Structure 1
């Protein structure tokens, strides 16, 4: 797969590095500037992204992401929507709505909707594509994990993916989602407990998820749109 000359907006270091290795010009987003600098300073593969500090729950920050991308590269080929947080919640929580509305839904779903809305006209020009990060939590409930808000937000991501895929299909833009299971990222705190949720009894590596994302963002997947792809070490089987 070659992404030479293509411009990609990405949240997630593993995917950004993988795209850069294939020749893409990467715009890397994070709310934490230190995280961005750590990735930007990694020169293992000659990787030097355009970094933008952004809080995706703020409309002005999302607008600035598009402005900075277009100011620097003049076009956009790939939008990789990966911003998200995991926060425990149940229907019994006293502060449920603050958690549900302002934290989980705004970060995990609403920011994705707005960034896609702003990016769509530019992706149409390049017949580009969108890959959204969802979760297996959109497809099943997990006893004892208290993931009400997170699971509902990711179910929203799945159906948002299908709806936007239909909207953009006449323009030649593909839209798909990747639904990882437990993966070795900062969002997983108790890794041993999550390992027990998988059939293979292992966690996915971020690079494995990145590889699937790159396939969906490549010309090899031009006939694929509106689909969700699970990579979960068999967690849906348990």
Structure 2
């Protein structure tokens, strides 16, 4: 065997641990974090390979004997020389592979390797028992950690990478806003949720934490109260040092929207204040912090197709959403050169609690959805809050970097048919 007994022993040990023992340890869920075993081991192996490669370059017998494992002494000189050259390349590739593995683990992008936690997905996919598997499926409630710590990140493959981002989502105690906050959180963002209902905010926060997202900052209050928007911004900056995304989702309609309704003007002022003024105020307050964002600032306004298509009995609401669309375009024009993208989503009918703002009981609103919304859908279904939330995550992520001043319609073809 000569002087290459030690290199052979180390290589055989490496392949035994990585290819045989490693998967079994991970399947049996050891009570310790595997990163404290894998990281030092890969570091030692990387240093050992670097040393071997250096000794090969200086022509020592130790290095030559190491590569002679791959070279037959019976080969002609020219073949042996070629094999030695290929072996050098092989050793270099192994060294690079080990360094890549080390840095991959240090960046904590392989949760199932670092030992943070692993999820079994039991809803829409069936992973084999013998190997861990990522999936686009949402995580089920059955999850087990590889250590005794609670999970901090999602192992389910993220659709969009929102890590290292902080997002404020207004109107996030229910409906579309709550779903956007949840989707952002499970895609890696730190979120700030706000609304008037403390109980609902608590439920949203628990749902986010149960799915593996970071605990959101909860700020209770109404955006129409004087001083609250500034208070919301301050609380976010005090907690996170700044933020990168502002989602203006708070809004509502009025049951007194007809032109001849005696209460129209009072309701008009209320709707315009909530749907338009708060959007402008939050955007103005957010600009100094969004400009400083290292990943690029984003403002996303949740508008409506009501701003593009008139509907009877909704004068105040239609007008407010048309105003939001123009706010979006104007802000995009002014803030784009300053590194801030401004866009809006204009949903059509969505199965949510929107009927509450029009004083509709749930059953009446369901009938309205069936007789008006579903009837005018080109694909025979009503949009879901998840559809809008996923679209929002795309727009504010790097995948949506070319969207500036866009009014993105998501209405199942409602405007074309109605």
Larger RCO (CA under 8 A, 6+ residues apart): 1
Q: Give the CA deviation at 1:46.
A: 2.0
Give the 3-state SS of the residue equivalent to 2:227 in structure 1. helix
What pairs up with 1:123-142 in 2 under 5 angstroms?
123-126=290-293, 127-142=296-311
> RMSD across aligned C-alpha pairs, in angstroms?
1.2
Q: Give the CA deviation at 1:34.
A: 1.4
Matched with 2:261 is 93
Matched with 1:200 is 379
CA deviations 1:10-63 (Å, max 9, x no partner) are 131111111111110000111111110111122331232111112011231111
Matched with 2:333 is 166
What pairs up with 1:107-122 in 2 under 5 angstroms?
107-122=274-289
Matched, 1:180 2:339: no
The separation in 2 between residues aligned to 1:227 and 1:59, in whole angstroms, is 30
The alignment covers a number of residue pairs equal to 235
Matched with 1:74 is 241
Give the 3-state SS of the residue equivalent to 2:350 in structure 1. coil
What pairs up with 1:6-155 in 2 under 5 angstroms?
6-11=165-170, 12-42=177-207, 43-47=209-213, 48-88=215-255, 89-101=257-269, 103-126=270-293, 127-143=296-312, 146-155=313-322
The separation in 2 between residues aligned to 1:200 and 1:140, in whole angstroms, is 19
Contact 2:311–2:318 (8 Å) recurs in 1: no
The separation in 1 between residues aligned to 2:374 and 2:319, in whole angstroms, is 22
Contact 2:252–2:271 (8 Å) recurs in 1: yes
Give the 3-state SS of the residue equivalent to 1:230 in structure 2. strand
The separation in 2 between residues aligned to 1:167 and 1:222, in whole angstroms, is 17
Q: Give the CA deviation at 1:198.
A: 2.1
Q: Displaced runs of 4+ in structure 1, greater than 4 A?
A: none
Matched with 1:191 is 369
Q: Give the CA deviation at 1:210.
A: 0.5
The separation in 2 between residues aligned to 1:67 and 1:175, in whole angstroms, is 22
Q: Give the CA deviation at 1:223.
A: 1.9
Larger Cα-atom Rg:
2
The separation in 2 between residues aligned to 1:210 and 1:153, in whole angstroms, is 22
Instruction: Using structure 1 for the length normalisation, give the TM-score.
Output: 0.95
The separation in 2 between residues aligned to 1:137 and 1:96, in whole angstroms, is 18
Instruction: Using structure 2 for the length normalisation, give the TM-score.
Output: 0.55
The separation in 1 between residues aligned to 2:182 and 2:206, in whole angstroms, is 12
Give the 3-state SS of the residue equivalent to 1:59 in structure 2. coil
Contact 1:54–1:62 (8 Å) recurs in 2: no
More helix per residue: 2
Bigger Cα displacement from structure 2, 75-84 vs 194-203: 194-203
Q: Give the CA deviation at 1:91.
A: 1.0
Q: Give the CA deviation at 1:148.
A: 0.9
